[in-house]
Amino acid sequence: MSTPGAGGARVEVLGLSAAFGRTRVLEDVRLAVEPGGWTAVIGPNGSGKSTLLRSVLGFHPHEGMVRVDGVPTTGMPRRERARQLAYAPQRPVVPEGVSTADYVALGRTPHRSLLAAPRPGDHRVVAEVMGRLELTGLADRLVTTLSGGEQQRAVLARALAQQPRVLLLDEPTAALDLGHAQQVLDLVDRLRRQDGLTVLSTLHDLSLAGQYADRLALLSAGRVVAEGRPADVLTADALASHYGARAEVVAGPHGPAVLPLRAPDGDRG
């Protein structure tokens, strides 16, 4: 972006455990994402991916520690945390009666003093982010009237307008068709290459995860069971044992892709 943020930060997750009531859903999770790195958390439904991101943000109670450039996030003032970390949730709740442009502009709040009017720089960042996500033509539409995919892009735009050092994306492509999914992931990839933004995302599409992330962390029943380069984590064995899936892993030019295989003839009823 022509108005870069402060560059990426190193994120460390140390011994993070979390629960819903008495049900433990994350167990001693350890992860480190280097500045400008992209780690995608993969894993079957219910393995704890969303809870992990929400815990890193401090939105879900947890044990263990999260550090951003060595500084623990517990006790970090909210505004300071919002200048470091931006989040695009899996199921965003968008406010009623707010235009798309005003919604994206909410991302500038952590950069302004309380009640101060937006400055020209704020408008510039918002306009630029909206242009890059093809939202300019939707600026005056109420954000509640956008389609699922448009809303997902608006939520991402709001997070980018925050000019964070770390972007936390929960299933950023879930509501998007393939072309829009690639557009969003290409943009995130450019931001981390040009501005050094650090990205921690979940991605349930394993082929997209294998192509875009430089590290994968495979979560299974709340534990990291494999972490490393995509080609080392995405294996047919791992897909069989943790997803119960039959699949072939194919080497692509930018990383592994997954080809699901239907059951052999004898196994179909």
Binding site residues, ligand ADP, CB under 6 A? 20, 25, 43, 45-51
Contacts of 265 (CB under 8 A, 6+ apart): none
Closest CB 241 distance from ligand ADP, rounded Å = 17
Q: Kindly tell me which of 56 and 105 has the beta carbon lying closer to ligand ADP.
A: 56
Task: Decide which of ligand ADP, Mg ion, none touches 47; Cβ closer than 5 to 8 Å per partner kind.
Answer: ligand ADP
DSSP state letter for 262: P
Task: Decide which of ligand ADP, Mg ion, none touches 25; Cβ closer than 5 to 8 Å per partner kind.
Answer: ligand ADP
Closest CB 48 distance from Mg ion, rounded Å = 8
> What percentage of the chain's residues is helix, strand, coil (to nearest 5)?
35, 30, 35
3-class secondary-structure state, position 68: strand
Dist CA 136 CA 129 (whole Å): 9
Backbone angles phi, psi at 169, to 5 degrees: -120, 120
Dist CA 88 CA 159 (whole Å): 6
Dist CA 179 CA 39 (whole Å): 22
Q: Kindly tell me which of 51 and 163 has the beta carbon lying closer to ligand ADP.
A: 51
Q: Kindly tell me which of 163 and 201 has the beta carbon lying closer to ligand ADP.
A: 201
Dist CA 244 CA 65 (whole Å): 32
Dist CA 123 CA 105 (whole Å): 8
Q: Total residues at the site for Mg ion (CB under 5 A)?
A: 3
Binding-site string for Mg ion from residue 79 to residue 108, where x marks contact by CB under 5 A and - marks none = -----------x------------------
Q: Kindly tell me which of 135 and 209 has the beta carbon lying closer to ligand ADP.
A: 209
Closest CB 48 distance from ligand ADP, rounded Å = 4
Query: What residues are paired with 169 via a beta bridge?
Result: 88, 201
Out of 50, 84, 152, 201, the residue judged to bind Mg ion by CB under 5 A: 50
Position closest to Mg ion via CB:
50
Q: Which residues bind Mg ion (CB under 5 A)?
A: 49-50, 90
